[in-house]
């Protein structure tokens, strides 16, 4: 009782400190293992709860006893006396934690005051009860236990024990190559989905050979062999697709995972927090911070990203002499993704400049964190209320708690669940959301004010190329690429894969062929040990199939006949395959199985995030006036504010312009959006 009373008093002290009383510098420190140790895949902080070394990850007492970096001049005598005793209080907390049976509730007090109000880059302390939930370098979670063929780590096999059908053969046999346009969704819908995917999940191929086609027997290799009559093999000397297995928590002899099976490791936070823009660690953030006026770094042309001319820190693709400085190098894979990344960097700096004008006494750190917080909230609002309904359907979103109607714009949605582990679902990352690759056309369009200058560019000519920089920065190309994204229709989501994605994915230099993204997606599901399509049909409420004809309600008879010829059993069909062949659910681009999995992922992403923009977070949330402003934000507004010279735009840029989605002047859109005056002189803690 005494310990809990002490902790309560300690936590109550912190919200009384506001910026009017002190200048707070939230310089995050990275959480490091003791020098004699290195990070082990799967060793999350929660594995070591109750051990002294666990506590030292959170508070480096020898370096900074209080972890607050407070300037005593701003404190009144009572607060100054309290702060001076915090070092001793932490010592007492250590003693409590080391001897407490209720360590989870005790360790809450060890999250520093910066993580109360602002997100840490690593995702640490988003959850006070379980501070490691959602952190980088932690395990994926599962909807169903994995189906590794050896029960531990080996890729999935048939129920008969034989190998599953070759992934490339499945791709060639089941999926056509016609590219029909979606009836109304613009290419921005697909491109936004890729940005979201990068933000929520990233696996790594650490320790894998560069070319698995020459290292078939390496444990980290799982290449896809090509049949001699494969169209790529017939027209080139290529005999296989390179494929490396993703890192798991059992890929190290020092692993502390005591579970029977391996679990893959994600290297982003589990939160929708623009980690690909700001970094998922302090070291990544340092690469993009200017450390002046709260700004992110920009290049010599001010409005574009800084360029690195060497492969420092492995930021650039191996074959490129230079590239953009980005925390997540996946974001420079194609020009249209670079455009979206740049848009959010510009928006951050626009917000920082306005906040500094409103609050000239704020420190660089305060300006940076406030701008970051608003930028992330805008990203979340747009993702959930403008983009996600086009993926899963409006009715499904509201019925299942992903979307909420509020009586007043400033009303909170208090669905935060501190008992929910934010870790992304493996089945979402390795199968269901990869169906979005079916929406990629093999070209992108540049739209100019003079229609005679409009251009269509072949996508495979720009995969991971250094010439992407010249394309993005030349002339008015930034605007023309943005206008192309909101004008061109994305590929229809169906059982076809564009030829550039099916035969030329990641094509290098002057090579005629590359890889097959659909085949790689199928192989990735097996690498993750994802359970079968039939298992997930049952999990998501459909009838489990006993015979091939039982698939008939969701999959066409033509496709079922091909599945029957290729697979040994209805229980062998890969989730990535079966889910992609289903008839779409109402309003959605997915069939019911993928709709179910993607829906569960985005429900978790909002409910497990203390900082989600709609939550009434007493420390790090928005006040009601600010929340009402955030709800006004649209992607059209962000484009108008951060494009170079865009004058007119449709209200909903994910949908082609029409009578119901009219072109409107940017001036009109900007006037209706975010009013930053509500962020003038706000207290750091509380509302």
- What residues are labeled active site? 198
Q: How far is CA 457 from the centre of its chain?
A: 27
Instruction: Assign 591 to helix, strand or coil.
Output: coil
Helices 167-174 and 517-527: crossing angle in degrees, nearest 10, is 130
> Whole-angstrom Cα distance, residue 318 to residue 209?
14
User: For residues 450 and 60, what is the distance between their CA atoms, to the nearest angstrom?
Assistant: 60
CA atoms of 462 and 470, how far apart (whole Å)? 11
**What is the number of other CB atoms lying within 10 angstroms of the CB of residue 285?**
21
211 neighbors 237 (Cβ within 8 angstroms): no
HSE-CB at 113 with a 13 A cutoff on CA atoms is: 25
How far apart are alpha carbons 548 and 569 in whole angstroms?
8
Q: Where does residue 302 fall: left (phi above 0), alpha (psi -120 to 50 degrees), or beta otherwise?
A: left
- Summarize the annotated binding site as residue ranges: 437
581-620 b/e with 16+ CB inside 10 Å = b? bbeebeebbbbbbbbbbbbbbbbbbbbbbbbbbbbebebb
Bridge partners for 496 per DSSP: 176
The closest alpha carbon to 509, from 460, 551, 548, belongs to 460
Q: Which of 495, 436, 433 shows the shortest CA–CA distance to 179?
A: 495
Annotated binding-site ranges for heme b = 437
Structure-block tokens of residue 639? 């484009």
The set of residues, in sequence order, having a beta carbon less than 8 Å from that of 465 and lying 6+ positions away, is 320
Q: What are phi and psi of 445, to 5 degrees?
A: -115, 145
C-alpha closest to that of 103 among 31, 48, 182: 48
* Cα→Cα distances 389→244, 273, 367, 437, 523, Å: 34, 20, 33, 18, 29
CA atoms within 13 A on the CB side of 17: 26
State the DSSP code for 651. S
Residue 86, classed as helix, strand or coil, is helix
C-alpha to C-alpha distance for 132 and 333, rounded to whole angstroms: 31
Q: Return the structure tokens found at 646.
A: 């865009």
Q: Which two tokens stand for residue 601?
A: 């992922």
- Single out the residue of 370, 310, 374, 303 nearest to residue 341, CA to CA: 303
Q: Residue count of the chain, please give it.
A: 687
Three-state DSSP state, 264: strand
Cβ–Cβ under 8 Å, residues 445 and 455: yes
């Amino acid at each position: 009782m005494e310990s809990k009373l002490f902790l309560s008093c300690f936590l109550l002290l912190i919200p009384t400190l506001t910026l009017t009383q002190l200048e707070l510098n939230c310089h995050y420190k990275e959480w490091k293992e003791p020098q004699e140790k290195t990070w082990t895949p799967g060793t999350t902080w929660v594995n070591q709860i109750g051990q002294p070394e666990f506590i030292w990850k959170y508070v480096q007492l020898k370096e900074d006893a209080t972890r607050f970096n407070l300037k005593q001049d701003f404190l009144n005598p009572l607060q100054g006396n309290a702060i001076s005793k915090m070092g001793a209080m932490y010592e007492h907390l250590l003693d409590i934690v080391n001897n407490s049976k209720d360590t989870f509730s005790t360790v809450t007090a060890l999250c520093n005051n910066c993580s109360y109000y602002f997100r840490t880059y690593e995702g640490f302390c988003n959850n006070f009860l379980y501070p490691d939930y959602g952190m980088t370098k932690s395990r994926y979670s599962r909807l169903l236990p994995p189906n590794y063929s050896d029960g531990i780590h080996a890729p999935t096999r048939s129920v008969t024990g034989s190998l599953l059908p070759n992934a490339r053969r499945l791709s060639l046999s089941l999926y056509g190559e016609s590219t029909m346009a979606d009836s109304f969704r613009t290419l921005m819908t697909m491109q936004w989905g890729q940005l979201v995917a990068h933000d929520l999940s990233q696996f790594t191929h650490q320790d894998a050979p560069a070319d698995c086609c020459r290292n078939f027997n390496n444990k980290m290799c799982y290449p896809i062999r090509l049949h001699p009559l494969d169209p790529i093999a017939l027209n080139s000397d290529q005999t296989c697709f390179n494929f490396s297995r993703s890192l798991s928590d059992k890929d190290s002899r020092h692993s502390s995972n005591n579970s029977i099976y391996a679990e893959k490791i994600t290297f982003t936070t589990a939160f929708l927090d623009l980690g690909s823009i700001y970094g998922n660690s302090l070291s990544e953030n340092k690469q993009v911070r200017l450390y002046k006026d709260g700004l992110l770094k920009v290049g010599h042309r001010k409005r574009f990203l800084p360029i690195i001319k060497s492969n420092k820190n492995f930021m650039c693709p191996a074959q490129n002499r230079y590239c953009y400085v980005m925390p997540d190098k996946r974001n420079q894979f194609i020009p249209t993704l670079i455009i979206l990344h740049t848009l959010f960097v510009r928006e951050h700096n626009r917000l920082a400049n306005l906040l500094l004008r409103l609050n000239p006494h704020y420190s660089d750190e305060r300006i940076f964190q406030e701008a970051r917080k608003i930028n992330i909230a805008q990203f979340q609002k747009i993702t959930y209320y403008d983009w996600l309904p086009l993926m899963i359907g409006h009715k499904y979103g509201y019925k299942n708690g992903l979307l909420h109607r509020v009586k007043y714009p400033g009303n909170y949605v208090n669905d935060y669940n501190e008992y929910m582990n934010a870790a992304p679902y493996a089945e979402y990352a390795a199968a269901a959301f990869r169906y979005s690759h079916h929406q990629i056309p093999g070209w992108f369009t540049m739209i100019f004010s003079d229609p005679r200058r409009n251009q269509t560019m072949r996508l495979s000519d720009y995969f991971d190329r250094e010439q992407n920089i010249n394309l993005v920065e030349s002339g008015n190309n930034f605007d023309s690429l943005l206008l192309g994204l909101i004008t061109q229709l994305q590929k229809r989501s169906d059982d076809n894969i564009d030829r550039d994605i099916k035969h030329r994915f990641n094509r290098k230099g002057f090579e005629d062929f590359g890889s097959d993204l659909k085949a790689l997606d199928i192989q990735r599901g097996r690498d993750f040990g994802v359970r079968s399509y039939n298992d997930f049909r049952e999990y998501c409420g459909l009838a489990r199939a006993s015979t091939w004809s039982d698939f008939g309600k969701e999959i066409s008879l033509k496709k079922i006949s091909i599945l029957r010829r290729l697979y040994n059993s209805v229980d062998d069909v890969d989730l990535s395959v079966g889910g992609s062949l289903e008839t779409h659910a109402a309003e959605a681009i997915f069939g019911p199985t993928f709709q179910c999995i993607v829906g569960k992922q985005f429900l978790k992403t909002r409910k497990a995030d203390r900082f989600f923009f709609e939550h009434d977070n007493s420390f790090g949330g928005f006040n009601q006036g600010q929340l009402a402003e955030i709800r006004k934000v649209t992607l059209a507004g962000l484009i108008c504010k951060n494009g170079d010279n865009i004058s007119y735009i449709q209200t909903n840029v994910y949908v082609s312009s029409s009578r119901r989605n009219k072109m409107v002047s940017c001036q009109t859109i900007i006037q209706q959006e975010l009013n930053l005056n509500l962020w003038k002189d706000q207290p750091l803690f509380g509302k």
